[in-house]
């Protein structure tokens, strides 16, 4: 495969390092936000004081996923601006 995708001996010499890092961080932000929302909404099924009905589970999960994905993307963009 290395003859199809030649790479330099050092990672810092990579021509598209910034694009690779941005893509990696943004995709991980979406995954992290979705996972966080699933854990939080899943916990709401277990904890009696904040229990939601199963009928409202899917809309609640979608709203929570949207909010946490938006938050993690915002945080990752702030990190990218600060770090790069």
* Res 71 pLDDT > 90: yes
In a domain? residue 37: yes
pTM: 0.70
In a domain? residue 18: no
In a domain? residue 42: yes
Cβ neighbours for 41, distance < 8 A, ≥ 6 positions apart = 52, 57, 60, 61, 64
Can you give the residue range of the structural domain that contains 62? 23-83
Q: What is the pLDDT of residues 22-65, one digit of tens each?
A: 888 889 999 999 999 989 888 888 887 777 777 888 888 899 99
Q: How far is CA 78 from CA 58, 73, 74, in A?
A: 30, 9, 6
In a domain? residue 5: no
In a domain? residue 53: yes
Beta carbons within 10 angstroms of residue 35's beta carbon: 13
Number of domains in the chain: 1
* pLDDT given for residue 11 in this prediction: 67
At 82, is the pLDDT very low, low, confident or very high (cuts 50, 70, 90)? confident
In a domain? residue 6: no
* Res 67 pLDDT > 90: yes
Q: What is the pLDDT of residues 18-31, one digit of tens each?
A: 888 888 888 999 99
C-beta separation of 5 from 37 below 8 A: no
* Res 7 pLDDT > 80: no
Cα–Cα–Cα angle for 66, 23, 37, rounded to 5 degrees: 25
């Amino acid at each position: 495969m290395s003859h199809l995708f030649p790479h330099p001996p050092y990672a810092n010499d990579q021509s598209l390092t910034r694009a690779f890092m941005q893509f990696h961080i943004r995709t991980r932000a979406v995954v992290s936000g979705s996972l966080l929302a699933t854990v939080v909404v899943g916990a709401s099924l277990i904890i009696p004081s904040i229990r939601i009905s199963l009928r409202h589970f899917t809309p609640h999960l979608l709203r929570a996923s949207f909010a946490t994905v938006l938050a993690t993307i915002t945080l990752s963009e702030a990190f990218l601006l600060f770090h790069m």
